[in-house]
């Protein structure tokens, strides 16, 4: 997989996760692994820079709230711009899969 | 959601934010692992292992977070700016009169400044379209420091100077007869130039090519390079014109090139160029000084070095001149930068104009500042409320400045429209010799300048009122919204002081220039220009090879022209006064020892009856008459200045009968002429220059060698019997006369003597017109400024005035109270203004004619005008004050 598509995939996964409601960083990791039955482990070290980058670019926004354990946590939610980005990346991913699968997958 | 609403109540710093978030993550991960049965210590280690390099993640996150915050701050600023602009717009729309007055005032100031800048830019600031324009020089040999025109041998010597990359010789501003196909012959401005001419400027033809060295030889086929102007006006911008054959001075010539438009430097520069084709024998014509030499200095050589090298060449040449009678040490060469020679004077003039409009702009800004100050007081309450609602002081100043900026920008746009018109006006009243002025327009440079001026002026006029308004905030609510009145009064007075000072400075400058323009207009030129027509003829060499044939033609033309109805007198002259062209010759009195008595004088060739036709006074002796012919003894008439210089005695009669040597073409072979008369001085070069020595020789006794130099050209002078008649009416009959005499001859240039006189006044006239306009604007602005402040004062004190009147003050006393109040800043401003003008007008020194910078008449006229204007401005508000009904005193505000 080309690097930027991988990169884009993490973004898309995070954005997708947030479409189901605001979450803090750890919850995003957990949600993704749950949804994929632990098959997909998000690299935690690259998640946070990705979150901050997307926040800078206005795809997601954050607020400080209180977590389930009574601790202050940063909750992310998706913005309108983020939704547009997600749509674009989903489409790109679909194209990628369509182009690559005949090559890599046995017919 | 706007940036402001998003601002959370609690917000950690960036470092804190990232640290907390990562710590939270690790804690959650540790907890999860412990829930799966791991011991705390292990769980923690495992969580950290999974996370990876915390420090590097932390760095990345911080960087993104900082960028995020920066974006947000910018967005916030932008939002606030948009709010301010919207608010400013609403404010302006709410007070349309205020907005209109302010914007018009600013438009006037900004527009005038932009117009002058546009012209200055076109004429002097933009680099000339040459390759390294600063290396293009005009070369003048000097004798005892006095520059003169070079000779061909000098040109040839200069060509060998290594400091020069290219050297060109030219005879510029010569007329040529152009005939396209079978059209009417007409005279165009032609330059006869060596092949190197265009290389000196580093400009190649836009189309076609320039001359080859072979074409610049006598006997070569005739070729011509034409200007863009001629190409447009006569050839419809057809590229196919290259290779076309036209008739030039009666001979076929092939057009080989078209120069770019940028090479049309002035409106009177050459229409076409032909090769100079110097004949080999010209190399020894040491005493024919009639060419102009241009040189391009080699890269890396300074002007001083080039000048030294040229001087050495000049002296080396002089050593080889046979019959040299002068020490070579007195000879030299000066190089003038072409650009300076061309625009030097105009640059000064335009900078002065720019200074004058800047003063007008400053006055306009002062006025607007005053208006804003008055409005700031009126709006004090609104501002105080906004401040109470949480707007910071800086925020309010920013908002007020945004309003000022909005005013200035609208004013700039309107000013630009005004600048368009003003540029047209200035171009229309400017002398035709101002280089590149018709290229002046409103381009992006002018646009940028105007915007810059607009923004700068909004700060000049906006900052003070804004700071003032913000500073007064706390007191306002306490005072029930009346604002700090005394502070405003003082500030308003200060602004009037500044305004009056600026206006006085400007008016003194304008007054001096206008007065000197008027004085030049009243200079007695020494001849009567009214009812006189001049028409120059240029005779082709092929048909008029010698003096005899030339004189025959002119005599016939004169004879027939004398029969034109309404013509009282006819004459011929080589150079009419004030025509801008001059020829000089060295002159010495016969028998005078050595070179000490050799001096330089203007020369003129005239026919009999010339002094009569021009109404030039004969002081003593006799006029040139029809018996002075080629075969009779040579005679000459001097002007008083020359006679005085040659024989510095009191009695002009001393001069009569003596002989002078001038127009001698060969060393050791004097051309002697007997002085038969002395005429009064006349302004031959320019009205603002003192009359120079001049002598008049009969055209019939012209030395044969002079004819080729003057292109066998003379000017026919016709004087109308009635001086009020427009002499242009003679152009048609004169054309008919010439067509009957020789149908191939065109009139090179027909101009009334009055038009020569007027064009000599052009610069002075332009000064007078433009400065009158600027002075007028300044006066109106000063008047409205004073009016504003005094009437504001009255409206603020109406209560007090009412009490005074109720307590028995007479209207006279009230008048005094108001006027005194208004006069103090005016008098102080006046004093400052006159002091300032002493410094400022020193830049005018070179521009003034017969007026000193401290001219008492001008200074007192300015003072009186300003005082009168100030009184007029105060009259209405003062009258309102006198008529305040005492009942006002009882009403509360």
> Of B8, B21, B65, which is closest to A25 when you measure between CB atoms?
B21
pLDDT at residue B489 greater than cutoff 60: yes
Percent of chain B with pLDDT strictly greater than 90: 13
Residue B807 has pLDDT above 70, yes or no: yes
pLDDT of residue B291 exceeding 70: yes
Distance from CA of B778 to the nearest CA of A (A): 54
CA-to-CA distance for B217 and B239, rounded, in angstroms?
27
> Which residue, A44, A57, A52, A50, is CA-closest to A8?
A50
Grade residue B484 by pLDDT with cuts at 50, 70 and 90: very low
Measure the CA–CA gap between B634 and B674, rounded to whole angstroms: 6
Q: Which of B168-172, B222-226, B285-289, B515-519 has the highest mean pLDDT?
A: B222-226
Q: Give the pLDDT of residue B79.
A: 87
* pLDDT for residue A1 is more than 80: no
Q: Do A43 and B67 touch (CB under 8 A)?
A: no
Using the Cβ of B17 and the Cβ atoms of chain A, whether some distance falls under 8 Å is answered with yes
For residue B610, pLDDT beyond 90: yes
> What's the CA gap between B859 and B826, in Å, rounded?
16
Angle, CA of B66, B69 and B70, to the nearest 5°: 85
| Average pLDDT over all residues of chain B | 83
How far, in Å, CA of B775 to CA of B509, rounded? Answer: 9
The pTM of this model reads 0.71
B501 phi-psi bin (left φ>0, alpha ψ -120 to 50, beta other) = alpha
Interface contact A56, partner B, CB < 8 A: yes
- Across the range B73-82, mean pLDDT stands at 87
**Shortest Cα–Cα distance, B80 to chain A (Å):** 20
Residues of B with Cβ-Cβ distance to A31 under 8 angstroms: none
* B5 part of contact set with chain A, CB < 8 Å: no
Q: For residues B97 and B17, what is the distance between their CA atoms, to the nearest angstrom?
A: 53
B205: helix, strand or coil: coil
ipTM entry:
0.88
Separation CA B795–CA B813 (nearest Å): 17
Nearest to B126, CA basis, from B449, B373, B355, B414: B449
pLDDT value of residue B10: 58
Query: A72 — contact with chain B (CB < 8 Å)?
Result: yes
Test B52 with A44 for CB contact under 8 angstroms: yes
Place of tokens 């046979």: B322
Nearest alpha carbon to residue B224 among B261, B199, B249: B249
**Selection from B306-320, B335-349, B660-674 with the highest mean pLDDT:** B306-320
What's the CA gap between B106 and B368, in Å, rounded?
Answer: 8
Q: How confident is the model at residue B514 (pLDDT cuts 50, 70, 90)?
A: confident
Note whether A56 contacts B53, CB cutoff 8 Å.
no
CA B344 to each of CA B236, B338, B439, B544, B843: distance values in angstroms, whole numbers, following the listed order: 34, 10, 18, 41, 14
- Rounded to the nearest 10 degrees, the angle between the axes of helix B444-471 and helix B338-378 is 30
Interface contact flag, A45 B51, Cβ < 8 Å: yes
User: Which residues numbered 38-77 in B keep a CB inside 8 Å of some CB on A?
Assistant: 50-53, 56-57, 60-61, 64-65, 67-68, 71
Decide the pairing of beta strands B272-275 and B223-226. antiparallel
Average pLDDT rounded to a whole number, residues B767-774: 82
How far is CA B640 from its chain centroid?
A: 36
User: Which range is most confident: B223-232, B473-482, B832-841?
Assistant: B223-232
How would residue B212 be classed by pLDDT, with cut points 50, 70 and 90? confident
Span of A60-74, B465-479, B735-749 with lowest mean pLDDT? B465-479
What's CA A35's distance to the chain center, in Å? 12
Dihedrals phi, psi of B390, to nearest 5 degrees: 115, 0
Residue of A34, A49, A51 best to disrupt the B interface, most CBs of B under 10 A = A49
Q: What is the pLDDT of residue B364?
A: 87
Exposed e or buried b per residue across B110-125, where buried means at least 16 C-beta atoms within 10 angstroms of its C-beta: bbbbbbbbbbbbbbbe
Q: Does B852 touch chain A (CB under 8 A)?
A: no
Mind telling me how many Å the CA of B76 is from chain A's nearest CA?
Answer: 14
Q: Rounded to an integer, what is the distance from CA B289 to the centroid of its chain?
A: 32
Q: Give phi and psi for B833, each to the nearest 5.
A: -60, -45
Categorize the per-residue pLDDT at B300 as very low, low, confident or very high, splitting at 50, 70 and 90.
Answer: confident
Q: Is A73 on the interface with B (CB under 8 A)?
A: yes
Contact list, A45 vs chain B (CB under 8 Å) = 51-53, 56-57
Q: At B213, is the secondary structure helix, strand, or coil? A: coil
Vertex B27 angle, CA B22 and B30, to 5°: 125
Residue B406 has pLDDT above 90, yes or no: no
Secondary element (H or E) of residue B719 = strand B713-720
Q: What is the pLDDT of residue B888?
A: 67
> Which pLDDT score is estimated for B488?
57
Find, in chain A, the residue whose alpha carbon is nearest to that of B62. Answer: A52
Q: What is the mean pLDDT of residues B131-144?
A: 85
How far, in Å, CA of B276 to CA of B254, rounded? Answer: 15
- Given a cut of 80, is residue A68 above it in pLDDT? no
Mapped onto helix, strand or coil, the DSSP state of residue B853 is coil
Q: Out of B24, B50, B67, name the one closest to residue A71 (CB).
A: B24
H or E element: which one contains B535? strand B532-538
pLDDT band at A107 (very low <50, low <70, confident <90, very high): low
Contact A38/B at CB under 8 A: no
State the number of CA atoms in the 13 A half-sphere of B240 facing the CB: 1
Residue A64 touches chain B, beta carbons under 8 Å:
yes
| pLDDT surpassing 80 at residue B592 | no
Residue B473's pLDDT band, with cuts at 50, 70 and 90, is low
Is residue A34 less than 8 Å (CB to CB) from chain B?
no
Residue B249, CA distances (Å) to B4, B178, B377, B599, B699 in order:
82, 6, 77, 36, 23
SS3 B660: strand
Q: What tens digit of pLDDT does each residue of B820-865 get?
A: 877 888 889 889 988 888 888 887 877 778 788 888 888 888 889 8
Strands (E), B214-304: 223-226, 245-248, 251-258, 272-275, 292-297
Flag whether residue B28 sits within 8 Å of chain A, measured between CB atoms. Answer: yes
């Amino acid at each position: 997989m080309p690097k930027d598509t991988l990169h884009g995939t993490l973004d898309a996964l995070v954005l997708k996760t947030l479409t189901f409601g605001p979450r803090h960083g750890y919850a995003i990791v957990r949600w993704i692994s749950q949804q994929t039955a632990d098959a997909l482990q998000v690299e935690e070290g690259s998640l946070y820079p990705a979150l901050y980058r997307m926040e800078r670019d206005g795809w997601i926004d954050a607020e400080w709230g209180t977590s389930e354990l009574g601790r202050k946590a940063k909750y992310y939610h998706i913005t309108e711009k983020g939704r547009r980005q997600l749509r674009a990346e989903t489409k790109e991913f679909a194209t990628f899969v369509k182009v690559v699968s005949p090559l890599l997958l046995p017919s | 959601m706007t940036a402001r609403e998003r601002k959370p109540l609690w917000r950690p710093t960036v470092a804190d934010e990232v640290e907390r978030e990562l710590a939270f993550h690790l804690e959650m991960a540790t907890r999860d692992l412990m829930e799966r049965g791991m011991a705390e210590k292990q769980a923690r280690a495992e969580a950290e292992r999974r996370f990876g390099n915390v420090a590097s993640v932390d760095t990345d996150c911080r960087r993104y977070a900082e960028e995020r915050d920066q974006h947000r701050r910018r967005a916030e600023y932008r939002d606030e700016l948009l709010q301010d602009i919207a608010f400013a717009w609403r404010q302006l729309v709410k007070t349309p009169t205020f907005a209109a007055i302010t914007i018009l005032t600013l438009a006037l100031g900004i527009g005038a400044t932009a117009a002058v800048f546009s012209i200055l830019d076109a004429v002097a600031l933009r680099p000339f379209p040459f390759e390294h324009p600063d290396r293009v020089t005009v070369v003048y040999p000097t004798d005892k420091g006095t520059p003169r025109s070079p000779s061909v041998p000098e040109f040839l010597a200069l060509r060998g100077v290594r400091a020069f990359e290219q050297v060109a010789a030219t005879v510029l501003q010569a007329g040529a007869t152009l005939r396209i196909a079978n059209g009417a012959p007409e005279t165009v401005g032609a330059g006869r130039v060596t092949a190197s001419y265009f290389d000196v400027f580093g400009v190649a033809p836009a189309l076609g090519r320039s001359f080859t060295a072979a074409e610049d030889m006598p006997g070569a086929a005739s070729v011509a390079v034409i200007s863009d102007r001629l190409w447009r006006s006569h050839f419809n911008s057809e590229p196919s014109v290259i290779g076309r054959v036209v008739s030039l001075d009666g001979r076929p010539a092939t057009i080989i090139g078209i120069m770019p438009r940028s090479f049309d430097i002035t409106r009177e520069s050459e229409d076409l160029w032909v090769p100079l084709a110097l004949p080999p024998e010209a190399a020894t014509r040491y005493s024919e000084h009639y060419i102009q030499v241009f040189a391009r200095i080699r890269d890396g050589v300074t002007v001083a070095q080039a000048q030294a090298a040229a001087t050495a060449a000049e002296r080396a040449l002089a050593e080889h001149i046979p019959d040299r009678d002068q020490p070579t040490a007195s000879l030299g060469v000066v190089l003038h930068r072409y650009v300076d020679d061309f625009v030097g004077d105009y640059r000064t003039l335009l900078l002065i104009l720019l200074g004058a409009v800047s003063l007008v702009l400053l006055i306009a800004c002062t006025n607007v500042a005053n208006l804003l100050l008055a409005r700031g007081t009126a709006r004090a309450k609104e501002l105080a409320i906004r401040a109470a609602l949480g707007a910071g002081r800086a925020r309010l100043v920013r908002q007020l400045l945004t309003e000022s900026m909005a005013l200035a920008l609208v004013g700039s746009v309107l000013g630009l429209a005004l600048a368009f018109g003003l540029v047209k006006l200035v171009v229309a009243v400017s002398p035709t010799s101002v280089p590149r002025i018709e290229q002046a327009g409103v381009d992006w440079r002018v646009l940028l300048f105007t915007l810059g001026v607009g923004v700068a002026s909004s700060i000049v006029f906006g900052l003070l009122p804004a700071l003032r308004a913000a500073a007064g905030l706390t007191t306002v609510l306490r005072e029930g919204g009346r604002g700090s009145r005394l502070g405003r009064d003082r500030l308003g007075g200060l602004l009037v002081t500044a305004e009056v000072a600026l206006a006085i400075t400007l008016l003194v400058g304008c007054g001096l220039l206008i007065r000197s323009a008027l004085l030049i207009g009243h200079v007695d030129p020494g001849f009567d220009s009214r009812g006189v027509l001049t028409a120059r003829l240029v005779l082709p060499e092929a048909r008029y090879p010698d003096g005899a044939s030339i004189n025959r033609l002119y005599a016939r033309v004169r004879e027939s022209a004398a029969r034109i109805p309404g013509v009282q007198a006819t004459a011929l002259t080589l150079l009419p006064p004030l025509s801008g062209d001059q020829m000089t010759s060295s002159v010495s009195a016969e028998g005078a020892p050595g070179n000490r008595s050799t001096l330089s004088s203007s020369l003129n060739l005239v026919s009999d009856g010339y002094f009569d036709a021009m109404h030039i006074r004969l002081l003593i002796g006799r006029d040139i008459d029809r018996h002075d012919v080629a075969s009779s003894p040579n005679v000459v008439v001097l002007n008083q200045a020359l006679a005085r210089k040659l024989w510095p005695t009191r009695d002009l009669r001393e001069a009569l009968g003596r002989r002078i040597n001038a127009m001698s073409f060969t060393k050791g072979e004097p051309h002697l002429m007997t002085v038969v008369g002395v005429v009064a001085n006349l302004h031959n070069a320019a009205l603002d220059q003192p009359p120079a020595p001049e002598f008049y020789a009969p055209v019939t006794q012209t030395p044969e060698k002079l004819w080729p130099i003057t292109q066998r050209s003379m000017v026919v002078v016709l004087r109308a019997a009635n001086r009020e008649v427009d002499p242009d009416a003679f152009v048609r009959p004169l054309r008919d006369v010439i067509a009957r005499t020789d149908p191939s001859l065109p009139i090179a240039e027909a101009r009334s003597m009055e038009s020569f006189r007027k064009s000599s006044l052009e610069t002075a006239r332009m000064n007078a017109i433009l400065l009158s306009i600027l002075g007028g604007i300044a006066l109106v602005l000063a008047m409205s400024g004073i009016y504003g402040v005094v009437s504001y004062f009255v409206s603020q004190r109406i209560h007090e005035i009412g009490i005074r009147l109720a307590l028995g003050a007479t209207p006279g006393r009230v008048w005094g109270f108001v006027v005194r109040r208004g006069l103090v800043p005016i008098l102080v401003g006046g004093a400052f203004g006159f002091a300032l003008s002493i410094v400022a007008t020193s830049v005018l020194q070179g521009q003034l004619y017969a007026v000193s910078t401290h001219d008492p008449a001008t200074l007192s006229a300015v003072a009186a005008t300003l005082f009168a204007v100030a009184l007029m401005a105060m009259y209405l508000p003062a009258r309102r004050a006198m008529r305040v009904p005492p009942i006002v005193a009882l009403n509360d505000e």
